[in-house]
Chain A
């Protein structure tokens, strides 16, 4: 299954990182993208970050999601 949602790296500890996917946080392995930095977006597959995503597009996607999230929180 190829999931295509960008996940933002929010913290790292050795070969694992905590990522955020629209408010959901999970621990993934970054063994396959050792050069990744905090704040970058990655593609997750089966618990692993497998590639770093183009920053500009990922941020645009994130912005759209945040707008929708706001509409639910603020009514």
Chain B
């Protein structure tokens, strides 16, 4: 492929190939190569750092806007890495003509969400480009957090561990799609966009081995990454997946699979079997974890393989997202 295509930004297999073929090739080092959501840097006190850019259409959607998303995305990357999020940077690229009213609403959301997550915006940058050279507003946030004694990461995952998720899957993906040009439909589904650090503080116990937020590419892609990194196989139970009927209905309508839809306020948690029940009940006590569920387990199978048990007793593969996740029609 000679040019960047939309699929390169999908978070699926093509994105991974781009990362390996270009970024790791030229920039690889002991920190980057860990390929985690956030990287732990050495110093007097260990800190974790992560960065993320936000380009989304529409800017305002059911359950949030790009400002809220820009805080949640970065806070969540730190939180699932076992860090306590502390500081954010905020860089804006604005398109000429963006209504100040919209910008203010977005920044108010940044403030509210940062407050909710207990993080401070400590520096920022603004650039304006000519009309047509950006889509209204692009945001980059970099997050800095303090490292805790939470030892989490794919390397701790072992066969026998349980796979938990903190709530219903695919809500964000459907909320966004419902407002996409040409696809408009009215849905009761709200984006799940939320900072997860307080929830994680509540349910974390030693024995929680790995956490990830299944954003682009969805639960399927994230579990594939983890299974590869940990060299284990995983098995999901289809009927245990928490799924709003309205999300299922929208998926049926559009020919999409919930396992590949983005989430912005959910954590996948791999926990030792001995603590899984306790972690689950703590999740359920938190408003963001009401519909948490145990959805599968880690097995000693073919490394990298993610399988799913269907309700009728069959088994199938759950692969990574291939290219863009497009609604299919014909």
What residues make up the interface of A, taking CB atoms closer than 8 Å to B?
1, 3-5, 7, 21-26, 44, 46, 65-66, 68-69, 72, 75
Contacts and interface: CB of A to CB of B under 8 A. Distances in A.
B249 A21 contact: yes
Contacts of A1: 255, 328-330
Interface residues on B, range: 20 to 34
B255 A69 contact: no
A22 B245 CA distance: 6
Interface in B212-270: 244-246, 248-250, 252-253, 255
Nearest to B186: A25
A3 B246 CA distance: 15
B244 A72 contact: yes
B255 A23 contact: no
A25 B291 CA distance: 25
A72 B185 contact: no
Contact of B186 (A4, A26, A66): A26
5 contacts: A3-B253, A24-B187, A24-B250, A72-B291, A75-B290
A21 B185 CA distance: 10
Given A46-B329, A65-B245, A69-B245, A24 B168 contact: no
Nearest to A47: B329
A contacts with B: majority SS: mixed
Contacts of A65: 245, 249
Give the residue among B189, B245, B253 with the most A Cβ atoms within 10 A: B245
Contacts of A68: 245
Given A24-B187, A72-B168, A5 B249 contact: yes
A5 B168 contact: no
B188 interface: yes
Nearest to B174: A24
Given A22-B248, A46-B329, A5 B253 contact: yes
B178 interface: yes
Contact of A24 (B185, B290, B291): B185
Contacts of A3: 252-253, 255
A58 B311 CA distance: 21
Given A4-B252, A23-B188, A44-B253, 6 more contacts: A1-B328, A3-B255, A5-B249, A22-B250, A24-B186, A25-B185
